[in-house]
Amino acid sequence: MSNINIDAQKANTYDAIVIGSGISGGWAAKEFTEKGLKTLVLERGRNVEHLKDYPTTNKFPYEFEHRGDPALAIKKANPIATRCYIFKEDAMDFVVKDAEHPYVQEKPFDWIRGYQVGGKSLLWARQTQRWSDFDFEGPARDDFAVDWPIRYKDIAPWYSYVEKFAGISGNNDGLAELPDGEFLPAFPLNAVEDYFKGVIKDKFSSRHVISARCAHLSKPKQIHFDQGRAQCQNRILCQRGCPFGGYFSSNATTLPWAAKTGNLTMKPFSVVESVIYDDKKEKVTGVRVVDANTKEVTEYYAKVIFVNAAALNTNLILLNSKSQRFPQGLGNDNGQLGKFVAFHNYSARISAEYDGLKQFTTDGRNPAGGGYMPRFRNLLKQETNFKRGYAAGFSAYRSSGKDTSGLVGEELKNTLVDHTPGPWRVGSHMMGETIPKETNFVSLSPDKKDAWGVPLLNISVDYDENDVLMKKDYLEQMTEMFTVAGFKNITPNESSQAPGLDIHEMGGARMGRDPKTSILNEWNQLHASKNVFVTDGACMTSTSTQNPSLTYMALTARAVDYAVKAMKRNEI
């Protein structure tokens, strides 16, 4: 019997285990397998193969039963998921339904998840901006959170490394607050977006509008053709899964690349219950997995574990990984695991119309979404009554749609076929940095468990006064800029959306210099358990204003490089 157990353990032993197959997990898989390590990737959701499993990708609008809108019964059954812009007939199968994995909302929080191979990399908005030292030095300078243990110089080479492979379109804009990268050609601004860029340059010297940087192959290079990808077709149907591989996703890019090495084992339907700490060996030895369908429990073993289950699920797994050594959760000697969760504040936007440039209209689609205004508040000095700042999107379009309300018969028909362009419509949304606080936290439910016997996650995350003041400033500043640009019918809008719809939750297992105040060190390595790494959103010490996925990619590649070298030195 003992030999059978030994043989079973050998069969379930790998060099590295990666929990999660999304943006960061896919990168961990690629890096480990390329370096020759036999790597197991555990994904709690179903398998989704590139090309094969994108059933809606080439459908016309009329081929959807409800023209894209989910049926009323589906909406009623999914009040949380329905609030997300992705939850439409063409992509809702990639979104977790409300009943599939419940959680406890101590405060309102819309947790949007993608449980499948590739995770939310099939659904993300693909915006990619580097951080600068304004961001990494922010907590120390502005006295919040803890000091980041790294600076821009530490991660800059890894930004370049992942950008070249992933394919990022953009311009070299020469902005200290938004470092340039390894770019494919940018998607151009349209006439009104370019006009607004000029107004801002002339009237607001410290503010800038640039072409949004995004993970799309505007002009592929050989490395992208080697991945089996093709040029972005500007369809803007990305959330369906792209048959061309025109945007970066784990499914189109990192996971197939890892599979080609012969070193990848992918196991979908694998719910990770906990990371196993062996009290006798005084180290982590593997992970405990519940089969999503059969509920059978299996243990897998490896020398190094990367926890990349997406921020809140990573916190859940670590909190549930209890032992005599770690009774509060793996690595949680300081009691801070699950705390200092933050997110991005998307709860304000503004729209208007523009009467000029009517000799132009829009032709084609821009997958980058238009313009981007990097953070300009409190950069060089504290100038407002709130800490930190916000970035803003900006886009313009000219619609030919006419108001058909109340029309019938011939008048309705004539209005529908009239394609005379209407006015230019412009819009902006904010992406505000929220301040990590101990009162924003996740924890394990003491008495409620999910279908796999894992405690439900309690989420207690909310806005604060800093967010309110920042939102007020955004609306005031954008109104002023819109007014200077000559826009009319300016309409500010404050949504009542709960945190979570930004889908940028971060923190809970933050990086830091001091084991007393952080969970991870400068290499994304648990202070208290050296063969466990976290490189998804859970690792973030602060959020800044940039979309975070590019930073996850760079941190992951950097951490794997460190982990493999440490293994060779027998330090792990």
Q: Which tens digits make up the pLDDT trace of 55-71?
A: 999 999 999 999 899 99
Mean pLDDT of 202-229: 98
Mean pLDDT of 487-497: 95
Nearest CA to 123 out of 81, 165, 72, 69 is that of 81
Indicate the pLDDT class of residue 401, thresholds 50, 70 and 90.
Answer: low
Mean pLDDT of 475-487: 98
Per cent of the chain over pLDDT 70 is 98
Mean pLDDT of 413-439: 90
pTM above 0.85, yes or no: yes
* Residue 314 near residue 338 (C-beta atoms within 8 A): no
Indicate the pLDDT class of residue 4, thresholds 50, 70 and 90.
Answer: low
Tokens standing for residue 341: 């969760």
Poorest-pLDDT segment among 58-67, 213-222, 541-550: 58-67
Would you state the pLDDT for residue 357?
A: 95
Mean pLDDT of 20-39: 98
Burial class of 499 by CB neighbour count within 10 A (0 to 12, 13 to 18, 19+):
buried
Q: Which tens digits make up the pLDDT trace of 307-331?
A: 999 999 999 999 999 999 999 999 9
Q: What share of the chain is helix, strand, coil (3-state, %, to 5)?
A: 30, 25, 50
Nearest CA to 30 out of 225, 243, 260, 230 is that of 260
Would you state the pLDDT for residue 146?
A: 97
Residue ranges covered by each domain of the chain: 14-170+213-346+502-572, 171-211+349-387+389-434+463-498
Mean pLDDT of 200-216: 97
Q: Which tens digits make up the pLDDT trace of 90-108?
A: 999 999 999 999 999 999 9
**Dist CA 566 CA 539 (whole Å):** 20
Strand blocks (E) in 282-423 = 283-291, 297-307, 339-342, 344-345, 348-354, 371-373, 390-398
* Residue 498 near residue 347 (C-beta atoms within 8 A): no
Mean pLDDT of 328-357: 97
Would you state the pLDDT for residue 1?
A: 46
The residues near 543 (Cβ < 8 Å, ≥ 6 apart) are 342, 343, 344, 433, 434, 436, 504, 506, 507
* For the chain, counts of helices (H) and of strands (E): 14, 22
Strand partners, 491: 351
Would you state the pLDDT for residue 417?
A: 79
Tokens standing for residue 111: 């947790």
The CATH superfamily label for domain 14-170+213-346+502-572 reads: FAD/NAD(P)-binding domain (3.50.50.60)
Q: Which tens digits make up the pLDDT trace of 459-477?
A: 999 999 999 999 999 999 9
Would you state the pLDDT for residue 364?
A: 83
- How confident is the prediction for the chain on average, in pLDDT? 96
**Secondary structure letter of residue 121 according to DSSP:** G
**Dist CA 265 CA 435 (whole Å):** 39
Burial class of 477 by CB neighbour count within 10 A (0 to 12, 13 to 18, 19+):
buried
